Amino acid sequence: MRHKLKSRKFWICVAAFLGSVATSISGIASESKAVTITGTICGILSAAIYSFAEAWIDSKGFHEDYDDIYPDDYLDD
């Protein structure tokens, strides 16, 4: 968990989410449905993009570990 707090992706996601929440709140305060919906959608997208990026990086790490353990010529024996 500690390495997540040092992640730039995590902090960008947090900033995007907080910006989206602020946009939604300002939309509610100004009674603008378009601004409220935009803020909500951006908040959901920031979390989804972060999740996708983490999953993609984790899958790349898995494949690299797998290649280190089982080189291509391992199966030829």
Q: In the chain, what are the domain boundaries?
A: 7-70
Q: Tell me which residue has tokens 């989206």.
A: 20
**Structure token pair of residue 35:** 């601004």
Rounded to two decimals, the pTM is: 0.61
CA distance 16 to 68: 36
List C-alpha distances in Å: 20 to 26, 45, 57, 69: 10, 10, 25, 43
pLDDT of residue 6: 75
Supply φ then ψ for residue 22, to 5 degrees: -60, -40
Q: Which residues contact 54 (CB under 8 A, 6 or more apart)?
A: 9
Residues of the chain under the 50 pLDDT cut: 77
